[in-house]
Amino acid sequence: MAILEIRNLRKVFGSVIANDDVNLSLEAGETHAILGENGAGKSTLIKMISGLYKPDYGQILLNGVEQHFANPREAIIAGIGVVHQHFMLIPALSVAENVVLGSEGGRFLFRKKQAIDNVLRISKELGLPLDPAIKVQDLPVGMQQRVEIVKALYRNARILILDEPTAVLTPQETEELFAVVRRLNQDQIPVIFISHKLDEVREIADRITVMRAGKSVHTMPIADATAKELAQLMVGREVVLETLKTPAQAGEVVLRVENLSVRDDRKTTRVKNVSFEVRTGEIFGIAGVDGNGQTELVEAIVGLRKLEGGKIHFLDKNITSENVSSRIQHGIGYVPQDRQRDGLVLQFTVADNLVLRSVGAKPFSKSGWLQKKSTRANAEKLIKEFDIRPPLEDVQVGSLSGGNQQKVILAREMAREPMLLIAVQPTRGLDVGAIEGIHRHLLSLCEQGKAVLLVSLELEEIMQLSDRIGVMHAGELVTVMDAKAATRESLGLAMTGERVEEGVAP
Amino acid sequence: MSKRTQSLVLPLLAVITGLILGGIIMWVSGYKPINAYVALFQGAFGNSVFIANTIAGAIPLILTSLGIAIAFRTGLFNIGAEGQYWIGAMVGTWIGYNFPHLPWYIHIPFALIGAMVAGGIWGGLIPGLAKAFVGAHEVITTMMMSYIAILIGHFMLERGPMMAPGYNPQSPLVTMSATLPTLVSNSNLSAGIFIAMVAIIVVYLLLFHTTFGYRLRTVGHNPMAAKYAGMNVPLFTIYSLGLSGVLAGLGGAVQIMGVDHQLTDTFSSGYGYTAIVVSLLARNNPIAIFFASVFFSALSTGSQVMQINSGVSPNMTDVITGVIIFFVATDKLYSYFRGKFRRSSKAQSEQKGVSVS
């Protein structure tokens, strides 16, 4: 009998079907991988199993008994342990304190000795060396993950769910994690392993369930699965939508990136030795699963992040050591991923936001004085051109809808007539109409002979708009291919880190 | 309610609630609130001397609040304006009595500028640099610097280098050449009011009509967007705290040169702290700061007459001030909760769309 069985699970949020007819069975001692793209419904499924969401339909059975978790605590008591992608640890507390937190035992006094003994015992059983006295904030990420695993086992987890556990790990840490997973399997504790990395899944899993668009598409033993087949199952085989664009006449090089390496805030190298060029008249798309270095790459190009190594040339000029504002002046437009966090001052009016990146230049200011008339005229013109609604220049941007906020950013960046527009996830969270409008604007830039660097997690969007497509995986530009030659399968495969034979080297 | 009417109505409500609650407390304690308020009003605005004194009392509040407002607009909390005010007064006094031979048109600007520079360094540059480069929080640093300033002031007067001959902890008088002329005889109202008015206009123009002010406000509202727009966020932190200190320092010097003419142990009556309330009540609007400053000054000058005419202790005005502070703060709470509510309902609807991964 399966330890955990999921039957026809369904979860709907408003008009979005997050999970539909999901089936899964977990046998004792197996590692079961769930593979799927971003948005395939993996997290929703996990949240239902761990008691965060209630299913709209379907059953969750533990050892043949149907469960109705009212909250995560009930799921924990039932023996379900989850290690979330973002750790739920308190950095200022010690390992032992974190492990026993919420189930300390004892009535009033904290039984420190007992807590430490427990941690030592569990970590020894697992072959996970762990110092119970050290503070969590002083541990590297891989060790923090161990704390989470020990914490789950301390609560007598009989099923362990690991949500994208390797996303934050180094290759060595990943190996150590796999060793732990195998040991748990030996102890008859099954593990659900969520990932979108094919190679890892093939290394660790016994069986694999592929999810796509909220459904469990297929379950098979790992031995039967080829990478190509998995990629196909993962991305589906829908016909690619008609590209709207006419093929670009690749012109001069606008942006040339050479051997770029970039670290994130935690000093981990996120972009490794990336080189590519963007030419006039083309849209260069960068595809990839979220968190594979795209953000850091873009931030380095616009000047918001220091380089670890490499060079950036813009219009034959070395801009590697220039700051953000001089790169703006050279003509680099930038539509950031998080429009509210980075792209707008929500308390400012539409008109003020439309000059955010050019307020120091004529005609919006003269020797330091703001020129409100030209700011207003500029706003009126752009509101009309980009159909920003409501068509008022003196309302706060924060009161606009997401789509209109995005239009404000796009209008601002395009009005400066940049030679290169970098757009990261420009249509995230927008409705179909707004998406189409933004796509049209991006394409019009190309027709004007400008260049666009488009970073998106939506394969559809990348394939529809790009002339050439680069795929990033684990900080590397795995492949650069002609959009005409690219298929969902080949892209999907590259996104999981497989080198693609037909890919044309950059 | 539109944003603009809201920013006008809510502070007014806070003031009215403060006055009503103050009235209830008076009534419960056996006084006649109407009479007391009439006396308070008469004491603040009853004749030209009273009006002049009320406006005179508003001058240091205006200048100091303007500084605090600039910091607030940049998202910074300058809690140490009191100390910057002291430093300005100290430097203004020192220059004021040490150069008796300078003509007034050099001596006065000299003293004012000296005080501004000192206030700027004290309140802005040091905490600003500490914040920009090592991330020391400005609430702590400005407050600590403030204590240091006030205690240095006491040291200077209590047998220190600035003590005048004699036994009293006070400095020598500033010379005539460093004295701001009195505008209404028998009152404290000096030409300092012109300095305060100019400061209001300058700060207003700076904040809302220059690229510098635009950038300050951008940094205040959203430092990430400021970075994205190529602005040097740490630099603007230093500018902002620096200007804040400049204005508080100016306030101290103007008070010395226009009213007190010498530094004494009991020099400041907490203007630096009242100024925080003024900025909050005025929502960091330079023009509203004028009215809020006059209001708080009126409470203080009117309270003397209120005591004589209706027997209510002048401390009653502190109670009213306290209530107003409370309601200004809760008015922030009000918008905070409304924002929270909106965000959580938004988060819920977003959750429906986004968390489908």
Mean pLDDT in residue range A340-345: 91
Q: So what's the pLDDT on residue B341?
A: 54
Position A398 confidence tier, pLDDT thresholds 50, 70, 90: confident
Q: So what's the pLDDT on residue A240?
A: 40
The minimal CB distance from A368 to the residues B212, B217, B229 is found for B212
Position A228 confidence tier, pLDDT thresholds 50, 70, 90: confident
Q: So what's the pLDDT on residue A438?
A: 87
CB-based contact A35:A216 (threshold 8 Å): no
Mean pLDDT in residue range A110-131: 82
d(CA A40, CA A20): 11
Answer whether residue A429 shows pLDDT above 70.
Answer: no
Mean pLDDT in residue range A335-342: 89
Mean pLDDT check: name the lowest of A57-61, A270-274, A417-421, B264-268: B264-268
Q: Which residue has the higher pLDDT, A201 or B108?
A: B108
DSSP, collapsed to helix, strand or coil, labels residue B227 as helix
Share of chain A above pLDDT 90, in %: 41
Evaluate whether the domain defined by A4-235 bears CATH number 3.40.50.300. yes
Considering the four listed CATH numbers 3.30.930.10, 2.30.30.90, 2.40.160.40, 3.40.50.300, the one that applies to the domain covering A238-331+418-506 is 3.40.50.300
Mean pLDDT in residue range B131-140: 88
Mean pLDDT in residue range B112-127: 93
Closest approach of B283 to chain A, Cα-based (Å): 14
Considering the four listed CATH numbers 1.10.3470, 1.10.10, 3.40.50, 1.10.357, the one that applies to the domain covering B50-311 is 1.10.3470
Mean pLDDT in residue range A156-176: 83
The residues, any chain, with a CB within 8 Å of residue B171's CB and separated by 6 or more, are B93, B94, B97, B156, B157, B162, B163, B164, B262, B263, B264
Domains A4-235 and A238-331+418-506 share a fold: yes
> Whats the size of chain B, residue-wise?
357
Answer whether residue A39 shows pLDDT above 80.
Answer: no
Any chain A CB within 8 A of the CB of B101? no
Per-residue DSSP letter, A224: G
Chain A hits for B217, Cβ within 8 Å: 345, 348
Answer whether residue A477 shows pLDDT above 60.
Answer: yes
Burial B333-352 (b: 16+ CB within 10 A, else e): eeeeeeeeeeeeeeeeeeee
Q: Are strands A31-35 and A191-195 parallel, antiparallel or unpaired?
A: parallel
Using alpha carbons, select from A189, A139, A142 the residue that is nearest to residue A31.
A189
Mean pLDDT in residue range B145-171: 90
Closest approach of B218 to chain A, Cα-based (Å): 7
Position B151 confidence tier, pLDDT thresholds 50, 70, 90: very high
Position A59 confidence tier, pLDDT thresholds 50, 70, 90: very high
Any chain B CB within 8 A of the CB of A370? yes
Answer whether residue B347 shows pLDDT above 50.
Answer: no
Render pLDDT for B248-267 as a digit per residue (tens, 0 to 9).
Answer: 999 999 999 999 999 998 88
Residue in this structure with the two tokens 């969270």, named with its chain if needed = A429
Using alpha carbons, select from B26, B4, B12 the residue that is nearest to residue B307.
B26
Q: Please give the interface size between A and B, counted as residue pairs whose CB atoms are below 8 Å apart.
A: 98
d(CA A318, CA A322): 9
Which amino acid type is present at position A303?
G
Closest approach of B201 to chain A, Cα-based (Å): 15
Q: Which residue has the higher pLDDT, B5 or A144?
A: A144
The residues, any chain, with a CB within 8 Å of residue A416's CB and separated by 6 or more, are A328, A331, A333, A357, A358
Any chain B CB within 8 A of the CB of A334? yes
Residue ranges covered by each domain of chain B: 50-311
Per-residue DSSP letter, A261: E
Q: So what's the pLDDT on residue A239?
A: 38
Q: So what's the pLDDT on residue B2?
A: 58
Residue ranges covered by each domain of chain A: 4-235, 238-331+418-506, 348-416
Q: So what's the pLDDT on residue B125?
A: 82
Share of chain A above pLDDT 70, in %: 91
Render pLDDT for B316-326 as a digit per residue (tens, 0 to 9).
Answer: 888 888 888 88
Chain B hits for A334, Cβ within 8 Å: 228
